[in-house]
Amino acid sequence: MAGGIRVINGGTVTSAKGFEAGATFAGLKTYAEDKLDLAILLSRGATTAAGVFTTNRFKSPSVVVTQEHIADGKAHAVVVDSGIANACVGEPGYKDARRMAEKTASHLGLQPEDVLVCSTGLVGVELPMSLIETGIDRIRTTEDGGRLMARAILTTDPRPKEIAVAFDLNGETVTLGGIAKGAGMIHPNMATMLCFIATDAEVAPDFLNAMLKEAADDSFNMMTIDGDTSTNDTVLVLANGAANAGPITPGSEGARLFSAALNQVCEYLAKAIAREGEGVTKLMEITVEGAKSLQQARSAARTIAGSTLVKTAVHGSDPNWGRIVVALGRSEAEVVENKLALYINDVCIVEEGVPIPFHKDSIIAIMSGEEVSFRVNLNVGNSRATAWGCNLSEEYVTFNSAYTT
Amino acid sequence: MAGGIRVINGGTVTSAKGFEAGATFAGLKTYAEDKLDLAILLSRGATTAAGVFTTNRFKSPSVVVTQEHIADGKAHAVVVDSGIANACVGEPGYKDARRMAEKTASHLGLQPEDVLVCSTGLVGVELPMSLIETGIDRIRTTEDGGRLMARAILTTDPRPKEIAVAFDLNGETVTLGGIAKGAGMIHPNMATMLCFIATDAEVAPDFLNAMLKEAADDSFNMMTIDGDTSTNDTVLVLANGAANAGPITPGSEGARLFSAALNQVCEYLAKAIAREGEGVTKLMEITVEGAKSLQQARSAARTIAGSTLVKTAVHGSDPNWGRIVVALGRSEAEVVENKLALYINDVCIVEEGVPIPFHKDSIIAIMSGEEVSFRVNLNVGNSRATAWGCNLSEEYVTFNSAYTT
């Protein structure tokens, strides 16, 4: 997409130099077909790290421990369990998360503070620590282990989500690989999006953090499945410098390339998550342009993407533009009714705030594809943002109303 | 409910003295079984008026004209069309809304400024003014016309929503009657909740406005069907003093009674709206107590009521308390995890932030009724609020994804 950045065929989280991963069956994810449920990502050598985390007030102690361990901007490994979220379990939650870090550290010959911990799955259930400790000991990390880890972090996502991209810098190849699991409450009582990105670039922690925050704001924070934010949402990036391409510093050409590559990885994974929510058959992309500020553009795009009524209209391939206007009208965006323009897959439907005659059947035909795009021009400013969402289907309701607890 | 307030059997918006209503078929609501689609509420004599309106930035010109006409705190009549929302139509919308007021005024022998205008129905379609003007001329208002008006304001609500209550004051009977139409986007492209309350109490406009605002904040603003706020939402109250019970002034016993009666009418109608959204089979009541402030309690209750995941869990009678915690965690409410308690229909499910063993089958049985109540005690303060919502069903999705525009 961005100039000089290429997608690596079959790329994953271990595509960058100096990273290894491995996974095992610990016995936590009995409800899923793929039983892999415990994974480790490992970086040999000095590695900087940055993360963005859930804003939910009920935070899993796994997130708390990760935030403590990443505070120094360094990390060597990540341990992840899928099946149990380690949330709403009281005192033992924090102890168990720390124990996971300690056990992983001793298994890999690291300090506990070098290990980050992630959990996803059932809320209100304690981690079976003996299974987890035995499992950690069984994990062998390898340079092609990313694919196993991509499977092991899933709960009931239909398939792994992986990507890697590369660019040239100072005569060397810099690679970023990433994997993610879905945000949709795919299995009842499941929440959480997790994303792990590993790069062989050399980046100081503060700058890495700033670039990750920006990339996440444009991707994961612009994506909605059903509006809930989980107790465990986490995006982590580890940078080990193994590419030997020199440090990436603010304002440099390397920074421009790295930032574009990071954005591309995050956007790819965010869209894959939106596309693979439960009962989802369509990806919805909403671009709001001509807004007074970036914040207003983001709010408008996100509000439209999250509207139940827009989601059901997309499900039915219904060019029901009134619902887009209604959702837009309750967002933060300032609007002037007679300046509004609205396009469905680039066909103009509303101009100067008033519907224009369109051939309904052809719009319905356009909307029947796997991707539906809405573009709203507010014509009151110069800011622009894109959000991603999905259709709301009968299957979603059926899936999410089955007994579970 | 409140001391001294009694519900009037068969009460409606014309139950209070000095009010008349009427309705006709103008030909706007061709899609509905009940074709009544144009109605007038009339108060003879000096009448004060107050209103609360949609906060959507795209406001129907009918709302704009009503806000202009109610600015002096007085009104004699309300004219309402159902079938076309008079929204997103550009310039003609404002002219048409004014014309509706003028035509109604000349028909009733009033000034246009004495007439309030409401519209509900399709967005982006101009009002057929010749049908509306002919229709207005045909309407004959009568003292028992409230029941007709209650039908005429509906779009595809399954049934009219009406109530009247009375209390004694200074040896006289003071009556408040109200009708409403639903907020759910029941018919695709339809939005809007409308509510009309008529009372024979004597209340100054500012005080009437303050009491209405309070009542709406505890009822209509605490109710959610699908989270969207329409271009046309309006709640109006008219007070004509015909009970001859003397003026109701701040701090008086009359004010206490009137306020309680107004709250009761609003709460009844708000719950009826929530219960009668499309595909709805269950009313969900969420009470949050022990919050740090009223605003935090309201935010928490509303966020839980609006969560897609909570709504699908209620649909499936699933005691999936993790979803309630997740929704609560993204509300404005401050929480302390180990102080949280949660009850489903008064059975304790979570205590001190940790799930306690409960007999799942009996909770499922409890949740299978037509009303499900969740009570959350945050145990960090003394504020409390209640919100109402409904289950999200497969039928809702089917209904709202059919072609419509």
A156: region left, alpha or beta (phi > 0 left; psi from -120 to 50 alpha): alpha
Q: What is the ipTM of this complex?
A: 0.85
* All domains in chain A, ordered by first residue: 6-275 (3.60.70.12), 283-401 (3.10.20.340)
Q: Which of B337, B393, B405 sits opposite A397 (nearest CB)?
A: B393
Q: Is B119 helix (H, G, I), strand (E, B) or coil?
A: strand
Among candidate residues B12, B47, B66, B192, the one labeled active-site is B192
How far is A392 from B288, CA to CA, in rounded Å? 29
Q: Does B396 touch chain A (CB under 8 A)?
A: yes
Phi, psi of A282 (to 5 degrees): -140, 140
| Res. A187: pLDDT tops 60 | no
3-state helix vs strand vs coil in chain B, percent to 5: 35, 25, 40
A398 touches chain B (CB under 8 A): yes
Interval A327-351 mean pLDDT: 94
Question: Which residue has 């029947």 as its token pair?
Answer: A368
Strand-strand pairing, A194-199 and A234-239: parallel
Each of the 405 residues of chain B gets a pLDDT tens digit; together they read 446 999 999 999 999 999 999 999 999 987 777 889 999 999 988 899 999 998 888 999 999 999 999 999 999 999 999 989 999 899 999 999 999 999 999 999 999 999 999 999 888 889 999 999 999 999 999 999 999 999 999 987 889 999 999 999 999 999 999 999 985 554 334 456 899 999 999 999 999 999 999 999 999 999 887 777 788 899 999 999 999 999 999 999 999 999 999 999 999 999 998 888 777 889 999 999 999 999 999 999 999 998 888 998 899 888 889 889 989 998 999 999 999 999 999 999 999 999 988 788 889 999 999 999 999 999 999 999 999 988 888 887 887 776 454
pLDDT tens for each residue of B281-291: 899 999 999 99
Predicted confidence (pLDDT) per residue in A64-114, tens digit: 999 999 999 999 999 999 989 999 899 899 999 999 999 999 999 999 999
Q: Is A64 on the interface with B (CB under 8 A)?
A: no
pLDDT tens-digit map of B340-385:
999 999 999 999 999 988 788 889 999 999 999 999 999 999 999 9
B112 in contact with chain A, both atoms CB, cutoff 8 A? no
- The nearest CA of chain A is from the CA of B229 a distance in Å of 7
Of the candidates A59, A380, A134, A343, which has an alpha carbon nearest to the alpha carbon of residue B353?
Answer: A59
CB contact under 8 A, A229 and B405: no
Residue B243 DSSP class: T
Q: How many residues appear in chain A? A: 405
CB-based contact A227 B325, cutoff 8 Å? no
Q: Which residue has the higher pLDDT, B263 or A55?
A: B263
Q: Pick from B396, B229, B325: which is nearest to A303 by CA? A: B229
Instruction: Note the pLDDT of residue B172.
Output: 97
Determine whether the interchain pair B394/A392 forms a contact, defined as Cβ–Cβ distance below 8 Å: no
Give the three-state DSSP class for A239.
strand
Contact A124 B354 (CB under 8 A): yes
With residues binned 3-state (H G I as helix, E B as strand, rest as coil), the percentages for chain A, rounded to 5, are 35, 25, 40
A337 touching B (Cβ < 8 Å): yes
Query: What long-range pairs does B66-71 form, CB within 8 A, spacing at least 24?
Result: B66/B116, B66/B117, B66/B118, B66/B234, B66/B236, B68/B113, B69/B101, B69/B112, B69/B113, B69/B114, B69/B115, B69/B116, B69/B117, B70/B116, B70/B236
Instruction: Provide the pLDDT for residue A158.
Output: 84
In the prediction, which pLDDT does B332 show?
94
pLDDT at B1: 44
- The helix/strand/coil state of A211 is helix
- Site of tokens 């706007």: B28
| Chain A residues with CB-CB distance to B350 below 8 A | 88, 124
- What pLDDT is attached to residue A121? 86
Closest CA to A46 of A114, A98, A106: A114
Phi and psi dihedrals of A117, rounded to 5? -125, 130
In contact, A184 and A256? CB cutoff 8 Å: no
For chain A, percent of residues with pLDDT exceeding 70? 96
List active site positions of A.
Answer: 192
- Interacting residues of A102 by C-beta distance below 8 A, sequence separation 6+: A112, A115
Q: Which of A228, A230, A364 sits opposite B307 (nearest CB)?
A: A228
| Residue A30 touches partner B, C-beta closer than 8 Å | no
- State mean pLDDT over A190-204: 88
The pair of three-digit structure tokens given for residue B44, joined into one six-digit string = 């003879």
- Please name every residue paired with A53 in a beta bridge, in sequence order, or none if there are none: A234
Q: Which of B88, B189, B360 is closest, CB to CB, to A353?
A: B88
Mean pLDDT, range A269-297, rounded to an integer: 92
